[in-house]
Each structure stands twice: as structure tokens, then as C-alpha cells.
């Protein structure tokens, strides 16, 4: 019984590999099409037809003003066609791969001001909605009766919250400042954590690789930069602008202040790159393992592809498990470093 | 990026206003309440222990008092009995002494009566002897005896 089941699975895999043999896989567009942003949400493929959730495209052209339309129009365009002057550049485009571009009156290809509600935007709002739906009922219950015996749900929320509060935030930030910065740090932690986890779920409505996207980590790093520098106290700014170093290092050429100012920028920059690179790398590895089946299948025939799929799937399971770990670790690291930077900016002179 | 900024800031704003402070505040409040309750319970326990000790002390005191009262009453009883006995003894002794005194008096009286009798008897005897001039001793003693025999009832009386 067990043996025959194994045979059936193997045969199915072989059939799958065989059925896809005809298509030659463009690995680069396959990987970056999935890990990158997109204008439509590809759900599945039934009998060769793509089933997609169309997202709104919002773009502002310098010549024709605002355009709002469903991404259906631009995603289903054939080569050389445009919709209202717009089309999506192929992944092979050197300048704007996979982005919405506009053909203006002179026939030049330009990038419009793009406010489209993309797949990542969808993913972001999904996580936002999830977070609100996850945490607000608990807050409401606490507000109603703080002394009531906590329910199991409240216990879970408490555990999650205090895991971050006691493990990450409290050790780094002066005690009196914790209530001021904890909401931001908690929000950032759970935002990154849920984004990472949702990114690992490979089907609609999840699967948008939000945190593996530089512009998203940039916003998060920017928030930390603001929290550190805008709320930084006098002592912190004195350490940057007039540090305790020999005078010639800060006057007449303010060498140390310049270095310190640059270092305030490098900290969030490192945060941004670290999160982005870790998450993107994990997704790429999983995608490559997936692509490997078709690459080998294409090179050596369906049989080899099927054989590879067994190894590949095992590796993918392993990588996905590892990515679950990474999802937590990266959220943890981002929050911990943010709270250390904030804590440093809140230090009082001893 | 703009959607990210909007979405993230909305969530941050909502959770910072009505999310995290509620959770943290409530948990802190509850922790405070629990620690306060523990302290109160400890205090109540201590108070109870104090009451317990006071109760035990009072009980012991009461028992001691009880024992003391019982002992005292026993003492008193003994004393009373002793007194009564002494009184009775004294009474008896007094009565005996009285009786003795009376007896003595009567004896003395009897003695003095007897003396008087003896004296009168002797005088009588002497009278009789003097009346009879007797020469011999035998006759004298016989005579005394006769007299004594004569006065037998008197002597016996």
C-alpha cells in the first residue's frame, strides 16, 4: 500500500514535469516575477488560462494626467500593445523590468508617477488588517475589564507582546522611555513578523514578498531613523555635533561630527539592507529549488526532472522551515537593533 | 512605498492609540493588583497568626486561672475542715478539762469530807481509847479492830 502510494506520487510528479517540458523556463523572470512586486495577483492557472486578481493601477502621466484602471488591461496586453499609452515592461527590460511604463507623444518610454495598488500594497494592507483584527479585540477586552481573568486568546496576545517587550525592548531602552517607544517597536516587530510569514504562504491572498522589497524596508528603516533622531535627547545630539574628542578633530574642519552624522545614516541603512537581503535570499533559494526541477527537466528530459523534483521538494520543505525561523529572527533583529539605537539616543549623561 | 507608508502609519497610529497602551496598561495594572493582593494576603496571614497566638495565650491563661481557682477552693475546703476539726477538738478538750476539773473538785470535796470523817473517827477512836485504859498491846489492837469493825459502815461510806 505504502509502496504503491509512493509510485503514484512519483508518477504524478513525472507527469507534471512532462507536461511542463514544452515550455522553456526563463529563470530570471520566473524568480523575480514571483519575488518582486506586480500589478496583478496571480492566483492559479486553469487549462492554460491565468486566473488573476486584478488590482487597480493608479498612475500620473506628465502629459495626460491621472489614470486609474484595472491592471487587467495592461497585464493581458500583447507584445507592442499599450493601454491608454501604458504597458508593463518585460522582466528583461534593462531600465524598468516589470514596471509600468508609458509611451509618450514623442514615442519615448518614460516611467509615470506610479501610485498603483500593487501586489505588495495588497500584502501590506492584508498584514495591516490582520494586525488590527488580531490585537484590537484584546485591547478592547483589556479596556473593558483589566482585572478579569484573561482568556486563552488574551494569554496568547500577552505572551507575544511581552516576549518582545521583556526580551527586546526593556533591556535596551531606559525604563521611563519604554511607554513612549514600545508601541512603535511592537508594531514594527509584528508587522515584519507577519509580513515575513505571510510571504512564505505560497497562495492567494498571501505570498507577496513584502519585506523582501527594498522600498518597504526603507520605510521601516526611515521610521527607526525618525524615532532615533527626532526624539533623540540633548546628550545624544551633543555626542554627534560636539563629541569629547581633541579639538582639532572637530574644529575648524568638523571631522568627527561628519563621521557621526554619517553613522546615524548607516545604522538604519544596515537595518534596511539586512531585512531586505535576508528575506529576498530565502525566497530566491526556494524559487531556485523550484526552478531547478524545470531546468533539469528541460535539459535531460522529464525523467530527470521528476527525479530532481523529489530532492527539490525535500529541500524546499527544509528551506521553508528555515524561512519560518528567519521570519522570526529578522523581525527580532530589526526590533532589537531599533530599540538599541533608540536606547542610545535616550541615554542620559552619567 | 507610498502604500507602505500609509498602511504602516495607520496601523502604527491605531495600535499606538488604542492597542498597545491598553494591553500594557492592563497587564501592568493586573501585575500590580496581583502583587498587592499577595502582600495583603501575607498581611492577613500574619494578622491571623497574631490572633491565633493571642487566642492560645488567653486560653492558657484561662486554664491556669481555672487550675488556680480549683486549687484555691480545695485549699479552702481543707482549711475549713481543719478549722472545724480544731474547733471540735478544742471543744472536746475543754469539755474534758471541765469534766476533769469537776471530778477533781468532787474528789477534793470527797477527800476533805473523808478527812473530816477520818479526823472525827480518829477523834472518836482516841476518845474511846482514852476512855479505856488498856495495858496490854494485844488488848489494844483488838480493841482498835473492834472499833474499826464497829465503824465499818462509816469507813466504807
Helices (H), chain A: 2-19, 27-35, 72-75, 119-144, 152-164, 170-172, 178-200, 214-230, 234-241, 255-300, 302-345
Measured CA to CA, the distance from residue A160 to residue A186 in angstroms comes to 10
CA distance A286 to A209: 12
Residues A147, B33: C-beta atoms closer than 8 Å: yes
CB atoms within 10 A of CB A128: 25
CA of A219 to nearest chain B CA: how many angstroms apart?
6
Note which residues in 27-86 of chain B have CB less than 8 A from chain A: 27, 29-30, 33
Residues of A with CB under 8 A from a CB of B: 115, 117-118, 120-121, 124-125, 127-128, 131-132, 135-136, 138-140, 142-143, 146-147, 157-158, 161-162, 165, 179, 182-184, 186-187, 191, 210, 215-216, 218-220, 223
- Residue B77 — very low, low, confident or very high, per pLDDT cuts 50/70/90? very high
Cross-chain residue pair B23–A139, CB shorter than 8 Å: yes
Question: Cell numbers of B149, please?
Answer: 469493825
Are the CB atoms for A169 and A186 separated by under 8 Å?
yes
Distance from CA of B19 to the nearest CA of A (A): 5
pLDDT of residue B55: 94
Distance CA A340, CA B148 (A): 154
Using a cut of 0.80, tell me whether the model's pTM lies above it. no
Flag whether pLDDT at B91 surpasses 90. Answer: yes
**CB-CB contact of B91 with B83 (8 Å):** no
Chain B residues 9-28 with CB within 8 Å of chain A: 10-12, 14-16, 18-27
Q: How many CB atoms lie within 10 A of CB A297?
A: 24
Asked if B10 and A186 come within 8 Å (Cβ–Cβ), the reply is no
What are the φ/ψ torsions at residue A233 (nearest 5 degrees)?
-90, 180
For chain B, give the percent of residues with pLDDT over 90. Answer: 42
Q: How far is B38 from chain A (nearest CA, A)?
A: 15
> In chain A, which residue's Cα lies nearest the Cα of B11?
A128
3-state secondary structure of A86: strand
Question: B1 CB near a chain A CB, below 8 Å?
Answer: yes
The span from the CA of A149 to the CA of B157, in Å, is 124
- The continuous run of DSSP H or E covering B36 comes out as helix B20-131
| Grid coordinates of A123 | 500584502
Rg for chain A (alpha carbons), in Å?
25
- Rounded CA gap, A17 and A204, in Å? 23
Q: pLDDT (tens digit, 9 = 90+) per residue, B48-57? A: 999 999 999 9
ipTM above 0.85, yes or no: no
- Cα–Cα distance, A21 to A28 (Å, whole number): 18
Q: What is the pLDDT of residue B49?
A: 94
- DSSP labels for A112-159? -EE----HHHHHHHHHHHHHHHHHHHHHHHHHH-TTSPP-HHHHHHHH
Phi/psi of residue B95, each to 5°? -60, -45
To the nearest 10°, report the CA torsion of B86, B91, B92, B94. 120
pLDDT higher than threshold 90 for residue B35: yes
Query: How crowded is the C-beta side of A94, counted as CA atoms within 13 Å?
Result: 0
pLDDT at A20: 52
CB A271 within 8 A of CB A312: no
Average pLDDT for chain B: 87
Radius of gyration of chain B (CA): 60
Task: Write the CB contacts of B45 (distance below 8 Å, at least 6 apart in sequence).
Answer: none
Residue A350: per-residue pLDDT:
56
Mean pLDDT by groups of 10 residues along chain A of 350 residues: 57 54 63 75 75 80 79 75 76 75 76 81 88 88 82 88 89 86 91 90 79 86 89 81 76 81 90 90 86 81 82 89 91 92 80
In terms of Cβ atoms closer than 10 Å to its own Cβ (0-12, 13-18, 19+), residue A194 is buried
What secondary structure does DSSP assign to A269-290, as a single string?
A: HHHHHHHHHHHHHHHHHHHHHH
Assess contact for A124 and B7: CB atoms under 8 A. yes
pLDDT above 70 coverage of chain B, percent: 94
Query: Are B8 and A118 a contacting pair at CB < 8 A?
Result: no
Nearest to A182 among B8, B11, B20 (CB): B20
Name the minimum distance, in Å, from the CA of A257 to any CA of chain B.
Answer: 30
What span, in angstroms and rounded, lies between the C-alpha atoms of A278 and A256?
32
Given a contact cutoff of 8 angstroms between Cβ atoms, the answer to whether A196 and A282 are in contact is no
Do the beta carbons of residue A348 and residue A174 sit within 8 Å? yes
Q: Which residue of A has its CA nearest to B22?
A: A139
CA B34 to chain A, closest CA, distance in angstroms equals 10
Chain A, chain B: beta-carbon pairs less than 8 Å apart: 99
Burial class of residue A340, CB neighbours in 10 A (0-12, 13-18, 19+) = middle
Q: Which residues of A touch B27 (CB under 8 A)?
A: 142, 158, 161-162
Distance from CA of B41 to the nearest CA of A (A): 17
- Collapsing DSSP states into helix, strand and coil, what is residue A31? helix
Smallest Cβ distance to A146: which of B12, B16, B30? Answer: B30
Indicate the DSSP class of residue A95.
S
Flag whether pLDDT at B121 surpasses 80.
yes
Q: What's the pLDDT at B36?
A: 93
Q: How far is Cα A148 from Cα A160, in angstroms, rounded to an integer?
A: 19
Q: Give chain B positions within 8 Å (CB) of A335.
A: none
Cα separation, A169 vs A182, in Å, equals 7
CB A53 within 8 A of CB A22: no
Identify the CA nearest to A60 among candidates A115, A117, A101, A118. A115
Distance CA B11, CA B19 (A): 10
Amino acid at each position: 500500500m505504502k509502496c504503491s502510494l509512493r509510485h503514484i506520487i512519483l508518477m504524478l510528479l513525472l507527469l507534471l514535469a512532462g507536461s511542463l517540458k514544452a515550455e522553456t523556463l526563463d529563470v530570471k523572470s520566473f524568480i523575480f516575477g514571483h519575488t518582486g512586486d506586480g500589478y496583478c495577483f496571480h492566483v492559479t492557472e486553469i487549462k492554460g488560462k491565468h486566473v488573476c486578481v486584478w488590482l487597480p493601477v493608479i498612475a500620473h502621466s506628465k502629459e495626460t494626467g491621472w489614470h486609474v484602471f484595472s491592471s487587467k488591461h495592461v497585464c493581458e496586453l500583447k507584445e507592442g500593445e499599450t493601454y491608454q499609452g501604458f504597458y508593463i515592461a518585460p522582466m528583461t527590460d534593462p531600465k524598468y523590468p516589470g514596471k509600468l511604463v508609458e509611451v509618450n507623444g514623442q514615442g519615448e518610454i518614460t516611467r509615470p508617477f506610479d501610485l498603483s495598488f500593487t501586489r505588495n500594497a495588497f500584502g501590506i494592507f492584508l498584514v495591516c488588517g490582520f494586525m488590527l483584527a488580531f490585537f484590537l479585540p484584546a485591547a478592547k477586552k483589556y479596556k473593558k475589564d483589566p482585572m478579569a481573568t484573561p482568556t486563552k486568546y488574551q494569554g496568547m496576545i500577552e505572551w507575544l507582546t511581552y516576549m518582545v517587550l521583556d526580551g527586546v525592548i526593556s533591556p535596551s531602552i531606559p525604563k521611563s522611555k519604554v511607554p513612549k517607544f514600545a508601541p512603535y517597536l511592537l508594531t514594527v516587530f509584528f508587522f515584519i513578523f507577519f509580513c515575513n510569514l505571510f510571504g512564505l504562504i505560497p497562495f492567494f491572498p498571501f505570498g507577496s514578498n513584502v519585506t523582501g522589497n527594498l522600498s518597504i524596508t526603507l520605510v521601516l528603516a526611515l521610521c527607526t531613523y525618525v524615532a532615533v533622531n527626532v526624539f533623540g535627547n540633548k546628550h545624544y545630539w551633543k555626542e554627534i555635533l560636539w563629541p569629547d574628542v581633541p579639538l582639532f578633530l572637530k574644529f575648524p574642519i568638523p571631522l568627527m561630527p561628519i563621521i557621526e552624522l554619517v553613522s546615524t545614516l548607516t545604522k538604519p541603512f544596515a537595518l534596511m539592507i539586512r531585512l531586505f537581503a535576508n528575506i529576498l535570499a530565502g525566497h530566491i533559494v526556494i524559487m531556485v529549488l523550484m526552478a531547478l526541477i524545470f531546468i533539469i527537466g528541460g535539459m535531460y528530459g522529464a525523467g530527470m526532472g521528476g527525479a530532481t523534483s523529489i530532492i527539490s521538494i525535500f529541500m524546499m520543505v527544509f528551506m521553508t522551515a528555515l524561512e519560518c525561523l528567519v521570519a522570526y529572527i529578522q523581525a527580532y533583529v530589526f526590533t532589537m537593533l531599533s530599540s538599541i539605537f533608540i536606547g542610545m539616543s535616550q541615554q542620559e549623561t552619567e | 512605498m507610498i502604500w507602505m507608508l500609509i498602511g504602516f502609519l495607520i496601523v502604527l497610529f491605531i495600535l499606538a492609540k488604542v492597542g498597545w497602551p491598553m494591553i500594557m496598561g492592563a497587564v501592568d495594572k493586573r501585575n500590580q493588583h496581583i502583587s498587592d493582593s499577595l502582600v495583603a494576603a501575607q498581611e492577613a496571614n500574619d494578622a491571623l497568626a497574631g490572633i491565633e497566638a493571642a487566642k492560645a495565650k488567653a486560653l492558657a491563661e484561662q486554664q491556669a486561672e481555672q487550675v488556680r481557682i480549683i486549687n484555691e477552693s480545695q485549699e479552702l475546703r481543707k482549711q475549713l475542715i481543719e478549722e472545724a476539726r480544731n474547733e471540735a477538738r478544742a471543744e472536746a478538750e475543754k469539755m474534758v478539762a471541765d469534766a476533769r476539773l469537776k471530778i477533781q473538785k468532787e474528789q477534793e470535796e470527797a477527800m476533805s469530807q473523808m478527812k473530816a470523817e477520818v479526823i472525827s473517827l480518829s477523834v472518836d477512836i482516841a476518845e474511846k481509847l482514852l476512855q479505856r485504859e488498856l495495858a496490854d498491846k494485844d488488848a489494844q489492837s483488838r480493841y482498835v479492830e473492834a472499833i474499826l469493825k464497829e465503824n465499818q459502815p462509816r469507813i466504807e461510806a
